[in-house]
Amino acid sequence: MKNIAPYIHEQFPDQDIEFIIGNNDTDLYSYFKEHGELPDIMTVRRFSGTDAQDLQPYLMDFASYDVVSKYYSYAVEYYKDTDDEIQWLPICAIPQTIIANKTLFDQYGIKVPENYEEYVQVCQQFYDKGIKPYSMDLAEDWSNQEIIQAAAIGLKG
């Protein structure tokens, strides 16, 4: 935030922009809603879709805006509500990471991938050797958003 806030203020010098730091959930926005103080722009790195439901009436629909076309269509499907409105966009504030077991790579003489194409090839190589190439803890209801957001990083345009 210490780097982005000055940049945004520089880009929009005539706007009164206040940055409020919350947690990885929608609780702060629910509190603001209860007190009639919802901000104009809300961002949440990770949140539960069910927790965000009480905010739906206050959120704009991005579906008709050009910004949606910058994402792969599958990346915004999860963000559609029952009326096909897109009220959240998959935007991560920090890069997602994958941790590799270097010992396993060395053991099988496989090079650690540096891009998506290599990643797919490496996964297939491990799979062919009977090794599950990737696993993820999907215990939380926001876990699938981690996958969607990571996949959306390859934005079009």
Residue 148 has pLDDT above 70, yes or no: no
Query: What band does 149 get if pLDDT is binned at 50, 70 and 90?
Result: low
> pLDDT above 70 covers what percent of the chain?
78
Q: In sequence order, what E strands does 97-149 have?
A: none
Q: Return d(Cα 11, Cα 145) in angstroms, integer.
A: 30
Buried (b) or exposed (e) across 97-127, using 16+ Cβ within 10 A? eeeeeeeebeeeebeebeeeeebeebeebbe
| 3-state SS class at 86 | strand
Q: Please list the residues that pair with 86 across neighbouring strands.
A: 80
Q: Return d(Cα 20, Cα 82) in angstroms, integer.
A: 30
Q: What angle do CA 50, 55, 57 make, to 5 degrees?
A: 120
Q: Return d(Cα 2, Cα 108) in angstroms, integer.
A: 43
Which tens digit of pLDDT belongs to each residue from 98-114? 778 899 999 999 999 88
Closest CA to 18 of 32, 26, 27, 30: 32
pTM summary value = 0.50
Residue 50 has pLDDT above 90, yes or no: no
| 3-state SS class at 143 | helix
